[in-house]
């Protein structure tokens, strides 16, 4: 587990952006205010996105025309994994940044990079990372 400031999270996210490949899934879990959207925003900035990056809490899926393409997804409002099927997450080769992946009841691809954020507000965040074999050599990003 690493202790990170908000600027550390943003810098780490930008470095991750450089190693993302089409079809990658990054599962962002943690309490409200723990840094999930901040991290997603850092990834998108790292890919050159200069526009707004709002939390997709109400839209559920926000696609971004970056290279590679990114879908920022927030599953907080879903009540079941079955509801997620209608979002078409399996029908794209975009990078998926999924907030609240636990709403999928464990139905994530086994090669998903797992990032769990703890802490909120002005506090330093703690990050726990689960690295699947396909991410070896890409995590930690340099």
Integer Cα distance of 55 and 34 in angstroms: 13
Where in the chain are the domains? Answer: 2-94+104-109+118-128
Integer Cα distance of 44 and 38 in angstroms: 10
The answer as to CATH 3.20.20.450 being correct for domain 2-94+104-109+118-128 is no
- The beta strand positions in the chain, using DSSP E, are 2-4, 25-30, 61-64, 70-74, 95-99, 113-118, 125-130
CA atoms within 13 A on the CB side of 30: 21
Q: What is the mean pLDDT of the chain?
A: 90
Looking at the predicted structure, is the pLDDT value of residue 107 above 90?
no
Task: Please say whether the beta carbons of 68 and 22 come within 8 A.
Answer: yes
Looking at the predicted structure, is the pLDDT value of residue 60 above 60?
yes
Q: What is the pLDDT of residue 88?
A: 72
Report residue 1's pLDDT band, with 50, 70 and 90 as the boundaries: low
Residues constituting the chain: 142
Please write the tens of the pLDDT for every residue from 114-128.
Answer: 999 998 766 778 999
Task: Answer with the residue of higher pLDDT: 46 or 88.
Answer: 46
Q: What is the pLDDT of residue 84?
A: 76
Q: What is the pLDDT of residue 66?
A: 97
Looking at the predicted structure, is the pLDDT value of residue 59 above 70?
yes
């Amino acid at each position: 587990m690493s202790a990170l400031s908000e600027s550390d999270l943003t810098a780490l996210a930008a470095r991750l952006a450089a190693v993302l490949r089409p079809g990658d899934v990054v599962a962002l879990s943690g309490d409200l205010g723990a840094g999930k959207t901040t991290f997603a925003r850092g990834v998108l900035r790292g890919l050159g996105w200069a526009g707004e990056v709002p939390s997709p809490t109400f839209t559920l899926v926000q696609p971004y025309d970056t290279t590679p393409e990114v879908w920022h997804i927030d599953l907080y409002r879903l009540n079941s994994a079955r509801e997620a099927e209608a979002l078409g997450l399996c029908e794209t080769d975009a990078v998926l940044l999924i907030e609240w992946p636990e709403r999928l009841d464990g139905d994530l691809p086994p090669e998903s990079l797992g990032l769990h954020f703890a802490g909120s507000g002005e506090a330093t965040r703690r990050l726990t990372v689960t690295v699947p074999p396909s991410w070896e050599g890409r995590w930690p990003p340099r």
